[in-house]
A and B are shown apart, each in its own frame.
Chain A
Amino acid sequence: MKEHDLTLGEELRRQGISRRSFMKFCAGVASSMAIPAAMVPAMADSLAQARRQSVIMMAYQECTGCLESLTRSFAPTVENLIFNFVSLDFQHTLQAAAGDQAIEAIETAMEENWGKYLLLVDGSIPLKDDGIYSVSHGQSHLDSLRELAEGAAAIVSIGTCASFGGVGAAKPNPTGAVGVDEIITDKPILNVPGCPPMPEVMTGVLTSFLAFGALPEVDRLKRPKAFFADTIHDRCYRRAFYDQGKFAYSFDDEGARKGWCLYPLGCKGPITHNACATLKFNQGVSWPIQSGHGCIGCSEPDFWDKEGFYKPLSAGQWGTAEGIAAAAAAGVALGAASAVMSRRNQDKISGGK
């Protein structure tokens, strides 16, 4: 049997992965995605029968950080095998082919899997001047996305740029960059934001797609609820210090050394939905807050433009001193006018006496 025709179960057996390990993996994914435990055997059976899924991954206006994150695995885990199992038919950075050969690879993949392939998008898409600011092989990424989306079964936007525009869309957004769902509106789209996103989220999404043939349940920003329902603040191990009123006010004070809450240092944990606090990065080694830095809110739209990473969430935009002075001057004028009117009224009533 050709390697390409193997089911996932057969592939795992070929790789020497025991059913016990596979069931553990399925239970883990089910748990992280809030799928009932009773569903795990059915999920495992369905997943084992899954055939190799065609995936086309496009890199648009991006920095390759997302790809770095997704490929950063240290051990030959089942998660890795899930990544390996999909047929990554096109990826600029990882494939050997270049130029015309690369384009041929996309066209072949599209033709052979029309209507069935999963389109993974990394990076924002510029709209300004017909998308001329981001071009590959003479084709704007705007046109490329429209063309590829047409034959896709579903689209997964990887990273904050593909999801919401990210750094490309930061003010003043010179290229008119946007996320995928602002361009494509007639396909199932799932956003996996993060700068970079978490590999485990991608595993969960791929597993769900392979097992159930559909994208998982999403929130209002099209993020999988299983990973993005809670805020970082909800799950942060420093939350107890917030509740106790113990804070770090600088990166080298007593509070910082004792690992207290980083809220005054601009931590965006309370308004950021992601799973970093529970899954962590680099296979559970650490995550930004554990390293002593506040959350920068990278999985939320417009996180670059939220008044700086070090300004506390409680801070507001007070406006200019001139504006407040003008308001006070207007108040004086209104007050004086009211008093004059009142005095005139008094004079009128008293007849000037």
Chain B
Amino acid sequence: MTLLDFARGPAMQIAIIIFVVGIVWRLVGVWALRQKKDLSEARQKGAWVGGIKGLFVHAWPYKPFVPKVGAQYLVGYVIHLGLFIVLIFGTPHMLFFADIVGFTWWTLPGGVITAVAVVTTLALFIALVKRLVNPVQRMISNFDDYATWFVTTAPFVTGLMTTMNMWPHYETGLAIHLLSVWLLLIYFPFGKLMHSFWFVVSRYTTGSRFARRGGMA
């Protein structure tokens, strides 16, 4: 069995199993926790509207904070949008998903995907440098932050190296790229990458609680 056979076969299946177990475990575990009772009287009706509003309002920093954290948000958006574009509109990725969903969709030219991936990778490195340089951010960072950065960046770097034929052997590069993605999947449920699931819940909860207490979302 070659490394690529291993990456496409057993490694992929093990990673998917761990990903599914982990995600369901975390979701059910949090959902089944005892809910905190809010004993105060609601100051206004329709807290859920505040929850929905919170989803969007918190997508960009409060105006007075923009000069301080705006760039950080921008880097975050570049990373997330880049990840989405490369993952969904890269042809090999589309074909990977098409294998299970049973249909294909329009994709972007390889050159565009490569450019997006390069920009995203640069944004990831900017985020890392900022984390290391900013004393406060460095102080509050732990292993999880760096591990999350690593497992997110590795598929971009290995994918770019595979596309640009920078490995001594393409198939070894492809296998390493796949393995880096499986590492991401395995780490996903147990670290900060779970924010992909939590951010909607937490923003809604924050928004609705603020609204219930009569505050802004």
Contact = CB atoms under 8 A, between A and B. Distances in A.
Are these two chains actual partners, yes or no? yes
A12 B71 CA distance: 75
Contacts of B32: 335-336, 338-340
Contact of A314 (B18, B95, B112): B95
Contact of A316 (B8, B21, B171): B8
Centre residue among A313, A335, A340 by max chain B CB count within 10 A: A335
A271 B20 contact: no
Given A270-B174, A316-B96, A346-B34, A245 B109 contact: yes
B108 interface: yes
B12 interface: yes
Contact of B170 (A264, A270, A343): A270
A342 B20 CA distance: 22
Interface in B96-130: 96, 99-100, 104, 107-113
A101 interface: no
B165 interface: yes
Contact of A243 (B92, B99, B110): B110
B107 A315 contact: no
B26 A244 contact: no
A343 B34 contact: yes
Contacts of B4: 271
Interface in B17-63: 17-18, 20-34
A327 interface: yes
Interface in A296-321: 301-302, 306, 311-319
Contact of B17 (A244, A301, A315, A319): A319
Given A234-B165, A263-B91, A334-B25, A317 B171 contact: no
A336 B28 contact: yes
Interface residues of B, number: 45
Contacts of A338: 25, 29, 32
A316 B170 contact: no
Contact of A331 (B5, B25, B108, B109): B25
B9 interface: yes
Contacts of B13: 317-319, 323
B114 to A, nearest CB: 8
Contacts of B17: 319, 323-324, 327
B99 A271 contact: no
A324 B29 contact: no
B8 A324 contact: no
The winner among A247, A317, A330 for most chain B CB atoms within 10 A is A317
Contacts, number: 135
A336 B25 CA distance: 8
B25 A335 contact: yes
A335 B20 CA distance: 12
- Select the residue from A233, A246, A264, A323 with max chain B CB neighbours within 10 A: A264
A317 B29 contact: no
B152 to A, nearest CB: 20
Given A245-B110, A317-B12, A330 B21 contact: yes
B2 interface: yes
Interface in B159-217: 165, 170-171, 174, 178
A318 B100 contact: yes
A133 interface: no
Nearest to B92: A314
A346 B34 CA distance: 9
B110 A332 contact: no
B16 interface: yes
Given A245-B110, A323-B17, A339-B32, A332 B24 contact: yes
Contacts of A335: 24-32
B80 interface: no
Q: Which of B2, B25, B34, B112 has the most CB of A within 10 A?
A: B25
Interface of A: 231, 233-234, 242-247, 249, 263-264, 270-271, 301-302, 306, 311-319, 323-324, 327-328, 330-332, 334-336, 338-340, 342-343, 346
29 contacts: A233-B170, A242-B110, A243-B110, A245-B91, A245-B108, A271-B174, A301-B2, A311-B99, A313-B92, A314-B91, A314-B93, A315-B96, A316-B178, A318-B12, A318-B16, A327-B16, A331-B21, A331-B23, A331-B28, A332-B25, A334-B29, A335-B26, A335-B27, A335-B31, A338-B29, A339-B28, A339-B32, A342-B29, A342-B34
Interface of B: 2, 4-5, 8-9, 12-13, 16-18, 20-34, 91-93, 95-96, 99-100, 104, 107-113, 165, 170-171, 174, 178
Given A247-B91, A324-B17, A330-B24, 20 more contacts: A245-B111, A264-B91, A270-B171, A313-B174, A314-B91, A315-B99, A319-B16, A323-B13, A324-B16, A327-B16, A327-B21, A330-B25, A331-B21, A331-B24, A331-B25, A332-B28, A334-B24, A335-B25, A338-B25, A338-B29
